[in-house]
Amino acid sequence: METYVLKDERKKELEILDKAIEKVGRKELPHILRIQQTVLKAVDEYMYKKNITRIMPIMIAPITDTLNHDVEECEVNYEGQKFDITKSMIFHKQVILSSPYLDKIYIVSPNVRLEQEEKGDKRHLFEFTQVDFEFKGADMDDIFEFQEGLVKYVFDYIKKECADEFKALGIGTSHLDVSVPFKRYTTQELKVKYGDDFEEIASKKATQPFWLINHKREFYDAEDLENPGTYKNYDLIWPYGYIEGMSGGEREYKYDRILTRMRENGVDENAFRNYIQLAKDGKIPKTAGAGFGVERMTRFICQQNEIDDVTVFTRKPGEIYLF
């Protein structure tokens, strides 16, 4: 009996193996990957021209992003110390900018977030890469202008460089004809208009990317003290139903504000004691920044049904993984 079960399980596994190899062998894949490669090339060029310093990613660290939703924990023990696997480099970005010699930085940053499986979810991978940037002294308007310039630069570049790829994928490029500045909406106004699913509905109706401002989320995004309960943070929403593609904010950087927000959010202060110490010593500067998902941008550009369509190996939550 036992051997039958084993055989059955093995049979299932071999079917999954076939599927995994079919996924690697899709004829669309090289075109999608070429477009993604061109995105990264254009991003690097844009950053280089703007004199933004590229930092190499950190993959494990004693602190990482607290996130605003639950994911499974994954810790690593090394030399008697506990490390988390990077969920985002938000705190590293702030610490890097404590240097008097660095003002603007970015990282092509791999992130691991062990998301729960959700039915119909087309936009999460449990590991992905974001282009994560942070600027000293910047505010929301600076980030909007910067990112609008980046999106336009990347899309114009792709249209020029990747005509053959779009032809091979059988899609046009009119969704990449963006006009800046992008429209700005607050979460409150769209909620009144469309109800709880406002992000998805507004994205489906839109034909241009737009900003969605004011989200109640992680402690490090700055609260607007002139309008308590509202926040100086933002998402960039891709149109045609592709939803969130980037998020960021002005940051809390003052000791008392960081502590207040941590306490409101129930963050473990002991785990963050060295970060808090830096804030107490006035070493965390005023900054703003954001990060956009590379695979999400690729999915939008290539008009793929779901985010896992742009990966070589499946990283969709809830699957069985062989590689």
For ligand ASN, the binding residues (CB under 6 A) are: 65, 88, 90, 130, 132, 247-249, 289-291
- Residue 125, helix vs strand vs coil: coil
Distances (CA, A) of 39 to 46, 99, 113, 155: 11, 29, 23, 8
CB of 89 to ligand ASN, least distance (A): 7
Residue (246 or 278) nearer to ligand ASN, CB:
246
Taking alpha carbons only, the member of 252, 244, 50, 49 closest to residue 130 is: 244
CB of 29 to ligand ASN, least distance (A): 26
CB of 106 to ligand ASN, least distance (A): 10
Q: How far apart are CA 253 and CA 259, in angstroms?
A: 10
Residue (93 or 316) nearer to ligand ASN, CB:
93
- Residue 50, helix vs strand vs coil: coil
**Amino acid identity at 72:** E
CB of 223 to ligand ASN, least distance (A): 15
Residue (1 or 56) nearer to ligand ASN, CB:
56
Residues 89, 91, 93: CA angle, nearest 5 degrees? 65
Residue (209 or 248) nearer to ligand ASN, CB:
248
Residue (65 or 223) nearer to ligand ASN, CB:
65
Residue 20 phi/psi, 5-degree rounding, is -60, -40
Residue (38 or 130) nearer to ligand ASN, CB:
130
> Which residues, in sequence order, are bridge partners of residue 244?
237
Q: Which residues of 49-82 are buried (b: 16+ CB within 10 A; e: fewer)?
A: eeebeebeeeebeebbbbeeeebeeeeeeeeeee
CB of 85 to ligand ASN, least distance (A): 14
CB of 110 to ligand ASN, least distance (A): 12
Residue (86 or 175) nearer to ligand ASN, CB:
86
CB of 65 to ligand ASN, least distance (A): 5
Residues 6+ apart with CB under 8 A from 247: 215, 233, 234, 235, 236, 290, 291
Residue number of the CB atom closest to ligand ASN: 291
CB of 141 to ligand ASN, least distance (A): 16
Residue (29 or 67) nearer to ligand ASN, CB:
67
In the chain, alpha helices (H): 2-24, 29-49, 90-96, 140-161, 163-169, 187-194, 198-205, 255-265, 273-280, 294-302
Q: Greatest CA span in the chain, whole angstroms?
A: 70
